[in-house]
Structure 1
Amino acid sequence: MSTTSSPVPEPEGAPADTGAPGARLIHGESTTDIPVHRLFRDVAEPLSPPVAPTVVGRRLGTGEQPCVRPPARRVPAPDPELVERPARALPGSVGVLAGLGGLGGCGAVSWWAGALSPSAMRVLDLPVSAGTGVGPAQLAAYVGAGALTMLGFSGLMRGRTGYAWVLRVFGRYRGTARRTGLMWVNPLVVRHRVDVRLRHWRSEPIPTVDANGVALRVVVLVTWRVKDTARAVLGIDDHQTYLRECVESALARVVPQVPADASATKDVVSLRNVEAIGDALTRLVAADAEPAGLEVFAAQPTRIEYAPEVAERLQRRRIAALDAEHRDTVLSTVVDSVEDTVTRLTVRGLVELDDYERKALVKDLTVAFYTGRTADGG
């Protein structure tokens, strides 16, 4: 607490200071509360959601402006249930044998019921069946053999190098199969195929601006792969679209902080420093893509160009500057030639010129030389 006092003479008959707590020591004093715990805190309190800018109080009468703390950047925590784990898968031979066993069972039940034709029985070298037809027992056997056939063949799937299968049962994640070759899984699972190879993605020209507000178009080449298949497939809608949005967000945070061209100042980082810009983009994109199960190795700008309207304006300005430079060069050459010609004529005594005649001769020679050079394209 700060105290602002103004000395006021004590009136006669005023009670003396008794030293009691809370007694006013100076008459006419005014006090103002200052949030000391805010202004002089060394360690900031941890922010709790929802994160909002914190406005620190100011001291009245000092002209001090409120201090606004920007909210801390939060990275969403991944769902603990969406963590890649190996799925239960059996060798494909198990499913093949089960399917073949079901087909054999169907054939045996058909022979048992006497449903096979004589020609088929002769080809298969089977004895004559004494079956009287399809009854409840035969129907039950048919159902069992058919179910075994369907379970055996419908559970087969083929794993390839560089691809993985994300498995779900009734909406719940059951694991990821990264095995190669033929394998058998539960036929009731829903399968999602994921490309886990190292991949390159080249963006379209993304519009942005530099530190001076100049409109630019940037093309970024991203090297990435799917690291956690569960989060990449089930945690977000489309991980490729999410990666593109991460790249656009990183460009919006990096490019507006540096100028497009700062060659005159060596200490200032510009967009020509591709390595520094690429490192900053890689860190931001990797941090944003990690919660989605994506691993980003590099995000490098491959082409940085001005927007079409800015490029056209700069082109006109460059052409005008070149034309002005060419005209200045031609004019300097013409003036030197005229000066050399007049000097030779007067030094050698070929002509005697007064001021008026000299000016006229200089004018005529200048027009002649300049017209000749212009006609020759020089």
Structure 2
Amino acid sequence: MSTTTSHTPESDGPVEGPLRPHGRLIHNEATTEIPVHLLFRDDPAPVSVPLKPAVVGRRQGTGEQPRLRSPIPSKARPAAQVDPDLAECPAGVLPGMAGVCAGVGGVAGCVAASWWAGVLPRLAEQALGLPALAGAGLGPAQWAAYAGAGALGLLGFGGLLRGRTGRAWVLGMFGRYRGTVRRTGLLWVNPLLRRRRVDVRLRHWRSEPMPAADGSGVALRAVVLVVWRVRDTARAVLGVEDHETYLRECVEAALARVPVEMPGGTRGAMESAGDALTRLVSADAAPVGLEVFSVRPVCVEYAPEVAAAMHRRRIAALDAQQRSSMLTSVVDSVEDTVTRLTMRGLVELDDYERKVLVRDLTVAFCSGRGEPVA
């Protein structure tokens, strides 16, 4: 009977025995056979896999050649854009006195048409110093005079506009931008234009608590102070539906991308977080005509769902830090005391007496500091 040398999983040395076929390790409906001798080879040869471009194999029987799989280029985040032709430009206005004169002329024309038609009351004629007139009645000519004078009065008074410092008027007609009025005082514009008032002063906005996170991903609530103003009134009013709501959404999106630290951290971390928030919000708000000067967190606290757990964690960390500091101080004091006693020759201690002295001094120092000794 022939014998052969084989290896078994339990021993590393050769075992003499009859030659037996290799057993099966796994064999069922869902797996294939794995010979045992492949799992326990002495010196497996290293397998090197060359790095090659990924290819898509051809399907059998189709004659297709393998094709290189081109990597998918990464797409950068698209920047917000508005109509490039939409930009602030000054609107054509006239001094307010022109509108006042036109309105007064329209009123005077209506009075004259009433006197001509004979419908002006006698008391009004006497007050205005007009001579008594029989009147021609309300005919087509009188109605035409009424229409012309009334249109002149409405055109004069309806186009009056008061410009204030720190305010601007955005004018439009039939959905088209017609210009912006930044002048102050009494002005006259076309009464058919639609007017929208915009505050162009330097403004600050204190947000409500917004969701944020720190560098470890702990949920926070942050209140930020934003200093901003409207730089381009046309884009701020016509580029977005509501520029104040858009600014608030930009701040919330920036808080989701920038980690914010709790109060008590390093000043550099808080400053860097504020600078990053300012940079992100400025980049998002610039295309709609908003100029952001500063975005700073003024109040940061833990979210309600994690506030209790994080409060206990901070208390435990402070307690551990205090205990470590106290223990270091006590150990230094005991070591200094024992060293001075022995070096000056005041006491002679063996190992046991030294241990007892160290223990008693440690208890005394800890009791003096108000710390219980375990």
Q: Return the TM-score normalized by structure 1.
A: 0.65
Instruction: Figure out how many residues of one structure are paired with residues of the other and give that number.
Output: 304
Instruction: Tell me, in whole angstroms, the C-alpha distance in 1 between the residues paired with 2:298 and 2:212.
Output: 13
User: Are the counterparts in 2 of residues 260 and 272 from structure 1 also a CA contact under 8 Å?
Assistant: no
**1:304-315 equivalent positions in 2, closer than 5 A:** 305-307=300-302, 309=307, 311-315=310-314
Aligned residue among 217, 225, 239 for 2:229: 225
Residue 208 (structure 1) aligned with residue 212 (structure 2): yes
1:332 Cα offset (Å): 5.6
Q: Secondary structure at the match of 2:92?
A: coil
Tell me: CA distance 1:130–1:315, structure 2 relative to 1, closer, same or farther (3 Å). Answer: same
Instruction: Tell me, in whole angstroms, the C-alpha distance in 2 between the residues paired with 1:218 and 1:182.
Output: 44
Q: Which residue of 2 aligns with 1:62?
A: none
**1:333-372 equivalent positions in 2, closer than 5 A:** none
Q: Which residue of 2 aligns with 1:284?
A: 280
**1:1-378 equivalent positions in 2, closer than 5 A:** 33=66, 35=68, 38=70, 56=71, 69-255=73-259, 272-296=268-292, 298-303=293-298, 305-307=300-302, 309=307, 311-321=310-320, 324-325=323-324, 328=327, 374=370
Q: Any stretches of 5+ residues in structure 2 without a counterpart?
A: 1-49, 53-63
Describe the superposition over 1:94-140 as per-residue Cα deviations: whole angstroms up to 9, x where unpaired. Answer: 11111000110111112112223333322222111121432332222
Q: Secondary structure at the match of 1:285?
A: helix
Structure 1 stretches of at least 4 aligned residues deviating more than 4 Å after TM superposition? 329-340, 357-376
Instruction: Tell me, in whole angstroms, the C-alpha distance in 2 between the residues paired with 1:278 and 1:126.
Output: 74
Q: Secondary structure at the match of 1:137?
A: helix
Instruction: Tell me, in whole angstroms, the C-alpha distance in 1 between the residues paired with 2:359 and 2:286.
Output: 76
Q: Secondary structure at the match of 1:301?
A: strand
User: Are the counterparts in 2 of residues 90 and 185 from structure 1 also a CA contact under 8 Å?
Assistant: yes
Tell me: CA distance 1:239–1:368, structure 2 relative to 1, closer, same or farther (3 Å). Answer: closer
Q: Secondary structure at the match of 1:272?
A: helix
Q: Any stretches of 5+ residues in structure 1 without a counterpart?
A: 5-30, 39-55, 57-67, 264-269, 349-354
- Identical positions, percent: 54
1:227 Cα offset (Å): 1.6
Describe the superposition over 1:4-50 as per-residue Cα deviations: whole angstroms up to 9, x where unpaired. Answer: 9xxxxxxxxxxxxxxxxxxxxxxxxxx974638x4xxxxxxxxxxxx
Tell me: CA distance 1:76–1:373, structure 2 relative to 1, closer, same or farther (3 Å). Answer: closer
1:368 Cα offset (Å): 8.7
Tell me: CA distance 1:147–1:324, structure 2 relative to 1, closer, same or farther (3 Å). Answer: same
Tell me: CA distance 1:112–1:301, structure 2 relative to 1, closer, same or farther (3 Å). Answer: same
Tell me: CA distance 1:312–1:275, structure 2 relative to 1, closer, same or farther (3 Å). Answer: closer
Task: Report the RMSD for the aligned CA atoms in angstroms.
Answer: 4.2
1:92 Cα offset (Å): 1.1
